[in-house]
Structure 1
């Protein structure tokens, strides 16, 4: 009996083995047939693939502390070393298609909108987490979602050039509050991380202009609890997104709980603001964004925005409006400090055009070099390193096979660092290059080297609706800042939450000193700046006190502008001023 049992067991094992071989052979044959039948070439896979981990380890070598910058720098390196402008990358089992060819990007954004769409719910690495926080705001909602379409049509006018012009006085007020707070809490001759201050200013600006509500961020040097909770939500998305949804309760239970609770508090705060406004008497004059969302109807359907959609967009505005703007301004200051000649030219322009006057809308058209500096910053360090789209079906893009439901990532930074588009000096901060470039243009004509060579705000109907808002806010703030301060880099400090980026000259951004980076959804360069006084259009060096005059000059400079009471040496010049 025992012998018969062993024979039967062996026979069964042999049958299972044969069945396994047959199944493997059939699966392989079907896969080969499927690939053979596919139209288009198979996408190349970059070097550095690891089993299970995919390209995760290879990509993270470019920056362990920020996934967005790592993917962007990796894309630039792959273009320059391997010539790859389209490839498929694998991250822990999630495959994405990366594109840095302007012609292919144009096809994705301008061809049949049913081929490529935007839907963060299907995004790899944490798209499902948005259900707790930003949900269906303008940035994260699916293009086919009726709530996005209604909100977009309602808000397109108040975010237009004409619309944001009307709220410029409110922007000026917040920029004045920023200068006042920095003089009070930092003071001339002392150093500070500028991102703390521009974040407060950007947050207060969108809160006041959009919600008619101040969170009192300038009342002291502390971070408002709402901003703290908002930062916690944003910072949690990346580490949580690295885990499949069914594993999060096991391996990151506390972080997931904290994320859900913080998101809930944010939504509750926005809901309270909304319901308070509903209870107030509505006025048609001087409507802010919240009034628009409550009162205006979609011109196409006649529908108004529902309460959930308004809350989603309030959170989206408060997040994107403060984080991206602050990142762009901080980066601009770093590039200017790394290129003192450019900074000096900008200061001269501000002195000549605005002087000590209050900045007006009419001044902005004359501040050309300021406009170029902002654009050049957005080229070299775009706050959004990439744009995400979804392939709705199996298709061919520029001769390449694109699977259905594939995540398409446009590597914005690679487009901005292509020498064939921008010239041999592509790595340099050179605002003058924009003198002969416009916002539009095609290959071979005056304007951009390619319509999709520069896309910090994306393109098409899903382009950043707040483009004009943030550009106006940056210009107003930078003018007022340089009317009152000059800056020089101070020694960096070891600060929690900041990661040091070495100026090694090997990968972007290419500055002359080390900077720091915060792990956030938007990319920005930060460093420790010493605040120097500017007096009658002159930048004064506080460290060059003259014997016997230190006290009188210091008392005149702290908190107020003065013509100067002692002989001082002007930064970057050998002239002596009194």
Structure 2
């Protein structure tokens, strides 16, 4: 191994909220190693399949709300996808319902609102020098610190309540309370449980929300692709309701999601640092521990890999045979190596279910007044 992940940018700012969670801790941190060995099996394919009914529950709530609006009401897809993904991950991980689609007048649950706020503020901070954040944006920083402390306090209370009233539920919180590190025999510390629960709630909802929002954008911009997705779903599901087994028979929909991630990855990239003085790409000398930023757009839109149409949305290039032939590092929306996102199976199952349900139930029409910003 020549490089290791270096938490930087928005991830570094998120440490105020999530501490040494899986996404923010350095690889050499013992807390990361223990949490990684405990949590990774919890996101295995079979366990994620068991979360399908909860995922479907929240998606049905959204679809019922959409149906009540009628055909002439425009929908804010981004806002709906944020509600969908946050409600879903809360139900699947901590058995908690924000009930976003039952709230009137768009009022958001305070915890859910704070989760969105701290994520947005972390990105804002990462784009500015520290002196601007600390001395010019001091009110925003103070609010950020208050919300971070409140989120941690409420999460600690939720964990304490679960410890006192154990429920027979196969969710992530129960698993984190009871699982042991296969190497050391240790369990997760109370602080590490808080760190990682907040990590999953914050990072886990935002990334999938972005994927779904851009996916629907591309479907509406490419009616031929939308028709192919509809045909595949109608053929596989028919007049039945969608089940977890249906999802594995939707290769074109999976290709659509992969292509969306290629063109519009939820993050701009990730930092790494060399483990020793090295030469990159045969000509760039780098020093040990020098931060390097891997830019997803440069990787995912490389014409030497994807051809002259690398900037175009063409899901066919992501069908299994073509996808399997891609060079090893040509598609990395979920990160790389041991620091790759452990939530990938969760995100992909949720995204496939959401698109399949929406397309199966509704005919989507593009709002011609909308411009992508």
Q: TM-score range by the shorter chain?
A: over 0.9
Distance in 2 between residues matched to 1:457 and 1:253, nearest whole Å? 33
Could you say what secondary structure the match of 1:133 adopts?
helix
> Residue 186 of structure 2 corresponds to which residue in structure 1?
303
Distance 1:294 1:288 in 2: 10
Alpha-carbon contact 1:182-1:197 (below 8 Å) kept: no
Q: Is the 8 A contact 1:297 1:304 kept in 2?
A: yes
Could you tell me which residue of structure 1 aligns to residue 19 of structure 2? Answer: 135
CA contact (8 A) 2:11 2:23 kept: no
**Of residues 67, 86, 89 in structure 2, which corresponds to 1:183?**
67
Query: Does residue 1:275 correspond to 2:160, yes or no?
Result: yes
Aligned to 1:209: 92
Q: Distance in 2 between matches of 1:366 and 1:226?
A: 37
Pair 1:418 & 2:295 matched: no
* Residue aligned with 1:267, SS: helix
Shift of 1:367: 1.1
How many residues end up aligned between the 2 structures?
370
Q: CA deviation at 1:181?
A: 2.0
1:480 to 343, 357, 361: 357
Q: What is the rounded CA distance, in whole Å, between the counterparts of 2:220 and 2:132 in structure 1?
A: 45
Gaps of 5+ in 1: 1-111, 441-446, 494-513, 517-578
Shift of 1:171: 1.0
> What is the Cα deviation at residue 424 of structure 1?
2.2
Residues 329-387 of structure 1: per-residue CA shift (max 9 Å, x gap)? 11011111111011011111111110231111221222111111111111111112212
> How many angstroms does 1:278 deviate by?
0.8
Tell whether 2:122 aligns with 1:230. no
Sort the Cα spacing of 1:190 and 1:423 in 2 relative to 1 into closer, same or farther, 3 A: same
Give yes or no for the alignment of 1:464 onto 2:341.
yes
Distance 1:431 1:491 in 2: 23
Asked if 2 retains the 8 angstrom alpha-carbon contact of 1:240 and 1:252, the reply is no
Q: Whose helix proportion is higher, 1 or 2?
A: 2
In 1, distance between residues paired with 2:11 and 2:348?
28
Which of 90, 113, 117 pairs up with 2:4? 117
**Counterpart check, 1:170 vs 2:54:** yes
Larger radius of gyration: 1
**Compared with structure 1, are the counterparts of its residues 313 and 438 closer, same or farther at alpha carbon in structure 2 (3 Å cutoff)?**
farther
Q: Find the counterpart in structure 2 of residue 321 from structure 1.
A: 204
Offset of 1:200 from its aligned partner?
0.8
**Counterparts of residues 22-171 of structure 1 (less than 5 Å):** 112=1, 115-120=2-7, 123=8, 129-171=13-55
How far apart are 1:294 and its partner, in Å? 0.3
Pick aligned residue for 2:135 from 246, 250, 256: 250
**1:395–1:402 contact (8 Å) kept in structure 2:** yes
CA deviations on 1:471-491 (whole Å, 9 max, x unpaired) are 000111111111211212214
Query: Given the superposition, is the C-alpha separation of residues 474 and 128 from structure 1 closer, same or farther in structure 2, using an over 3 Å criterion?
Result: closer
What do the CA deviations read for 1:467-510 (whole angstroms, capped 9, x no partner)? 010100011111111121121221447xxxxxxxxxxxxxxxxx
Report the equivalent of 2:83: 200
Inter-partner Cα distance in structure 1 for 2:152 and 2:265:
28
Q: State the TM-score, normalizing by the size of structure 2.
A: 0.93
Q: Distance in 2 between matches of 1:480 and 1:231?
A: 25
Distance, in Å, in 2 between the alignment partners of 1:476 and 1:138 is 26
CA deviation after TM superposition for structure 1 residue 118, in Å:
2.2
Distance in 2 of aligned mates of 1:253 and 1:215: 30
- In the aligned structure 1, how far is the partner of 2:346 from the partner of 2:21? 17
Inter-partner Cα distance in structure 1 for 2:307 and 2:292: 27
Deviation at 1:126, TM superposition (A): 6.5
Tell whether the 8 Å contact from 2:10 to 2:122 is kept in structure 1 after alignment: yes
Q: Is it true that 1:371 corresponds to 2:254 in the alignment?
A: yes
When residues 362 and 137 of structure 1 are mapped into structure 2, their CA distance, relative to the original with a 3 A threshold, is same
Q: Give the 3-state SS of the residue equivalent to 2:166 in structure 1.
A: coil
Contact 2:10 2:125 in 1 (8 A): yes
Residue of structure 2 equivalent to 1:312: 195
Question: Which residue, 254, 268, 277 being the options, matches 1:385?
Answer: 268
Deviations 1:386-433 (A, max 9, x none): 122123443333342102332111111211111110122222211122
Q: Structure 1 residues 452, 250: closer, same or farther in 2, change over 3 A?
A: same
For 1:126 and 1:167, the matched residues in 2 are separated by: 29
Q: Please state whether the residue corresponding to 1:191 is helix, strand or coil.
A: coil
Gap change, CA 1:436 and 1:161, over 3 Å in 2: closer
Question: How far is 1:247 from its partner?
Answer: 5.9
Shift in alpha-carbon separation, 1:249–1:372, aligned structure 2, 3 A: closer
- Unaligned runs of 5+ residues in structure 2 are none
Deviation of 1:131 after TM superposition, in Å, equals: 3.6
Q: In structure 2, how many angstroms separate the alpha carbons of the residues matched to 1:336 and 1:248?
A: 38
1:245 is displaced (CA, Å) by 4.0
Give the number of the structure whose residues are more often strand, by fraction. 1
Give the deviation of 1:435 after TM superposition: 3.0
Is 2:12–2:24's contact at 8 Å kept on the other side of the alignment?
no
Question: 1:502 maps to which residue?
Answer: none
For 1:312 and 1:187, the matched residues in 2 are separated by 41
Question: d(CA) in 1 for partners of 2:28 and 2:193?
Answer: 18
